[in-house]
Structure 1
Amino acid sequence: MRFHRALPLSAPARVSVVVPCYRYGRYLHDVVASALDQPGLDVDVLVVDDASPDDSAAIAHAIAEEEPRVRVVVNDPNLGHIATYNRGIAEVTGDYVVLLSADDLLTPGSLTRSVALMQAHPSVGLAYGYPLEFRGQPPTTRSGPATWITWPGHEWLHVFCRRGRNLVFNPEVVLRREVMAELGAYDPALPHGADMDLWMRTALHWDVGRVVGPEQGLYRQHDDNMHVESFGGVLDDLVGRRLVFDRVLLVSARDVVAPPERRRLHATAYRALAREAVDLAIRTVDGGHPEAAVRCKQYLAFAEETWPAVRHGRAWQAAVGRLGGGSSALRARAGETARQVRDSARWRVWRRLGV
C-alpha cells in the first residue's frame, strides 16, 4: 500500500455512467445530475430501464430529451438486475465505466478525482472511495483536498480474503473499460455477489486505487434495499460471499496465482466467513430475537460447514453456551459493548484506508 499526493487530470477523458433502473424513476433527475457534475470530463449517461411497471421509462426519456448527454434503453421483457447491468455496460464507449444505481448519487467531482488517479497510475484498473450512507434528503458532502492510495492487486486481494467480505460499495467505483473487455462484466451466476466477484477478478490482473478525503458517493438506505439487514438476507449474503470466493480463488485465479497461494487465500476467506457467522449467532441470541435459537443454529451450521475447526474456538463455545441458556443480561451487555468497540475500530480503518 502506498500513499500519493493527488494530482489534477493530465488529459481529457470520457466516462460512461450506466444507470440501471427498476421503479426508481423518482430518483432519476438527481442521479443523472450528480453523474454530469464532474469537471474536466466528457461524461455520458445511459439509463437502462428494466421494464419498470411505473413511469420510470417515461421520466428517463423526458430527461434524455432535455440533456443530449443522456441516452435511454428499455428492456422488454424484464431481464433482472445482472442482465440489465451487462446490457448497459455492453453499449457504452467511454474510456472509463461507472455503474450507478438509480437510487444512489455521485458527489461533485468524484469521477474527476478517480480518473485523475487512474491517469497517474496506468496499472490501476479499479478506483473507489468512501461512500456516505444516508436516508431522506442527500447530505452535504466535503470538498477538501484528496490523497490517493494504491495497492498491488495481489496485496489488496489478500486483505479482501482476510476480511471475508466485500470492501467496496457500488456508487463510487470507476473501472477502466479495458477491464470489462478483458474480464467480462457481471456474472449472472452470482446474484448475491456479482460486484464482489468483479472487484476480486480485477485485482487478479490490475492494481487498485482509492481516493481518500472527500466522500466519493452517496449510498441511499431505504426499505427497498434493506433486504440484507434481515436474517434471510444476511444468511444469503454469507452463502453468496462463500460462492464468490470459490469461483474467484478456485477458478478465475488458476492462471495467475500459484496453487499453494490459492489454497491459502481460500482457507483465509473461509475462516473469516466462519468467524463472522459465529459472531452473528452470538449477536442474535444476545439481541433477544423471538427466533434466536433457530437463527443461531443456522449461523452455526454455516460456520461449521465452512470451516469445521471453528468449533475449537472460544467464540463457538460462547455461542453454544448461549443456546443452552447460559447467557445472562450482564454478559450480553458486556459482549455488545466489546463488539461495538471492535466494530468502531474496524470502521475507522475502513473509512481511512478502504480495507
Structure 2
Amino acid sequence: MHPRVSVVVPAYRNIEYLAQTLDSILAQDYQDYELVVADHSSNDGTEELLRHYAGHPRVRVLSPTPPGGGAKANWDRVSQEARGELLKLVCGDDLIAPDALSRQVAALDAHPSAVLVACKRDLVDAKGKVVIAARGLGRLDGLVQGRDAVRAAVVAGTNLFGEPGCVLFRRSLLATGGWDNRYPYLIDQASYTAILLQGDMVALRSSLASFRINAGQWSVRLMHEQARQAIDFHRSLAAADPSLLSAGALWIGNQRARLMAHARRLTYLWLGRRMRGE
C-alpha cells in the first residue's frame, strides 16, 4: 500500500547538514509516510552518507540525478518518484519539527477544500542557532481562499508560504511539467501559486520548520535579478487572469518586491558580520 505522505529531499552539496535533515524527517511522530532522497551528482561524499540510510524501511535512496538542469531537475526527480497522496519537499540543509507532518496532515483532513497547508519557520545559521524566529505567512491565518492567499503574497512582494519545508500539498495538483521554473528564484512560490488557484489554503501560525541561511555573498546584481523575476511573475499572473490582481495591488506588490530583495541582502550582510564576530 502507498503511504499517505511522501517527504522528498533533493540533495545537492549538503554533506555538512544532510544527516540532520534526514534525521529530522525520520523523527516524525506521524507514521504513514515515506522518505525519498536523490543526490544531484554532488562530489562531496553525499552518496556515501546516503548508504547509511538506504536500509531504513521508510527510506528510498534513488540513484544520483545526472548533472545539469538546475534545481528543477532534482526537485522533479524526487517528486515524480513520490507515491503518497500528499507531498512535502525538504531541501537538504533544512529541518522540520517532529510534529510537522501530524499537524499539517490534520489541518488538511479538517478542511477538505484545502489543497495546501503552510506554517511559519525559524531562520537558523550554519550552526543551527535561531537567527530570526517564527517568520512567514504575513496575516494569513487558518482557512484562506486560495486566490486570496495568492493575492496576499503578491501584494507582500515576497513568498508568504515559505520555503518548501514549510509546505504540504496534494501531490496530484503539482503541474504535469513538475515544478515551475520559469522564474528560478520563485520556483517554490510559483508552483504553490498554481496549486492554490485550484483550492484553499490552511495557514498554521506555529513554526514547524527551520530554514538554514548562510553568510554567503548576496550581491547587488543578485538582489536586482530576484526583484526582476518577482515582478515578471506578478505581471504574468495579472496577464493570465485580470480578475486576480487589481492595478493597485500589482503596483504595490512590485514596489515591495524591490524592497524585500533589498532587505534580504541587508539581512545576509548582517548575518555575515555576526558570524565573523563569533
TM-score bucket (shorter structure): 0.7 to 0.9
How big is the shift at 1:81? 0.7
Considering fraction of residues, name the structure with more helix: 1
Tell me the equivalent position of 1:234: 223
Tell me, yes or no, if the aligned pair for 1:186 and 1:198 is still in contact at 8 Å: yes
C-alpha change, 1:279 and 1:201, in structure 2 (3 Å) is closer
Tell me the equivalent position of 2:60: 71
Same amino acid, percent of matched pairs: 24
Q: Decide which of 205, 209, 221 is 1:212's aligned counterpart.
A: 205
Tell me the equivalent position of 1:167: 160
Moved more, 52-61 or 81-90: 52-61
Q: Decide which of 106, 110, 113 is 1:120's aligned counterpart.
A: 110
Tell me the equivalent position of 2:71: 81
**Counterparts of 2:36 and 2:88, CA distance in 1:** 10
Whichever of the two has the greater Rg, that structure is 1
> Does residue 153 in structure 1 map to residue 146 in structure 2?
yes
Partner of 1:64: helix, strand, or coil?
coil
C-alpha change, 1:279 and 1:56, in structure 2 (3 Å) is closer
**Counterparts of 2:45 and 2:196, CA distance in 1:** 39
C-alpha change, 1:76 and 1:279, in structure 2 (3 Å) is closer
> Does residue 60 in structure 1 map to residue 50 in structure 2?
yes
Q: Decide which of 240, 243, 250 is 1:269's aligned counterpart.
A: 250
C-alpha change, 1:116 and 1:237, in structure 2 (3 Å) is same
How big is the shift at 1:281? 8.1
Q: Structure 2: where are the runs of 5+ without partners?
A: 135-140, 267-278
Partner of 1:273: helix, strand, or coil?
helix
Q: What RMSD in Å do the two structures reach over aligned CA positions? A: 2.8
Q: Structure 1: where are the runs of 5+ without partners?
A: 1-11, 143-147, 254-258, 288-355
How big is the shift at 1:277? 3.3
C-alpha change, 1:38 and 1:77, in structure 2 (3 Å) is same
Tell me the equivalent position of 1:191: 184
Matches within 5 A, 1:206-355: 206-213=199-206, 215-223=207-215, 226=216, 229-251=218-240, 253=241, 259=242, 261-262=243-244, 264-265=245-246, 267-274=248-255, 277=258
For 1:221, the aligned partner's letter is I
For 2:99, the aligned partner's letter is G
How big is the shift at 1:47? 1.1
C-alpha change, 1:121 and 1:25, in structure 2 (3 Å) is same
Tell me, yes or no, if the aligned pair for 1:98 and 1:173 is still in contact at 8 Å: yes
Could you list the structure 1 runs, at least 4 aligned residues long, displaced by more than 2 angstroms after superposition: 76-79, 136-142, 182-185, 246-251, 264-267, 269-272, 274-282
Partner of 2:36: helix, strand, or coil?
strand
Tell me, yes or no, if the aligned pair for 2:95 and 2:211 is still in contact at 8 Å: yes
TM-score (normalised: structure 1): 0.65
For 2:226, the aligned partner's letter is D
Q: Decide which of 48, 66, 88 is 1:98's aligned counterpart.
A: 88
How big is the shift at 1:84? 0.9
Q: Count residues in correspondence.
A: 254
The one-character-per-residue Cα deviations of 1:84-116 (angstroms, maximum 9, x if unpaired) are 101110110112101100000001111110110
